Structure 1
């Protein structure tokens, strides 16, 4: 599958929020601590969509197959770092599209957007309490470069050059 994200609009807010909530519930049921249940209010998604941060992969059967939130700075997690980088948050794939390669495609798309904008790195983070997600990101070519202690939890900071290819590419 090759992702063709489009900018999220007001019509996507409910679908993005519902996807996030469904993944929060699924992770909680599995004992995975990444996104606590109810940690992303709809109003925050709405404001981020209005700010142009969210991109979606439309799907005629399920409305939104996947999402990614792309930022050009991330002081909350990465501090005041002047390195030209693109930052990924909110990478989500509807479970009905899991295993299709959509997550990796969205990361490759984000890296290409970053490269086109002059970034040299694609950066993201995950909770240290979620080693499976870290392994996934490492399989996508990311390497751990730091840690951010947020008081209630700590996150691993990961990055890859925007030109890097994931391990599944040949």
Structure 2
């Protein structure tokens, strides 16, 4: 399928190990933008080790528009935050766009829905910091249903067994109805 954003073709390519810096630049730009608005969705800076495993598994993608890196998304097939709910699902993590590509997230969610469906998943799931009302409304406006809030260890954007606790809101899109 061909994806379009503002009249330009959107390319989704699996991120290679040597593109880790590209992934980190997009994430850090988005984290800085969020932080400047007082939103603690993510840490101020991402570490390469936080994304290395997903890149090595081929689950992190770079999104290009007009030959420029416009965003990144990780789509994987398991998430311990969801073990209480059954069914097969794709899980969106670390979805971010460069500021010049604001609005591209809708295309990225459409792509992730199609990729999860193609993988045989019944749902697309994601989470965000519970206090991020604007992002929660964004997901709800795109037919994602709130599936409860859970506590995770570590700073926002991390998942650890220790450290501060962050509350996240889980959202699910039923792919059989979409």
Which category of TM-score, normalised to the shorter sequence, fits these structures?
Answer: 0.7 to 0.9
1:7 pairs with 3, 14, 24, which one? Answer: 14
Given that residues 126 and 134 in structure 1 are in contact (C-alpha distance below 8 angstroms), is that contact kept between their aligned partners in structure 2?
Answer: yes
Shifted more, 85-94 versus 24-33: the winner is: 24-33
The alignment status of 1:159 with 2:161, answered yes or no, reads no
Question: Deviations along 1:118-151, whole A, 9 cap, x unmatched?
Answer: 1110000011110100011111110101111125
1:118 pairs with 117, 120, 123, which one? Answer: 120
TM-score (norm 1): 0.86
Q: Which runs of 4+ in 1 moved over 3 A?
A: none
Q: Compute the RMSD of aligned alpha carbons.
A: 1.8
Local SS of the residue matching 1:83:
coil
Instruction: Determine the C-alpha separation between the residues in 1 that align with 2:83 and 2:150.
Output: 9
The structure with more strand, counted as a fraction of residues:
2
Structure 2 unaligned segments of length 5 or more: list them. Answer: 154-164
TM-score (norm 2): 0.82
1:109 aligns to what? 111
Question: What is the count of residue pairs matched by the alignment?
Answer: 160
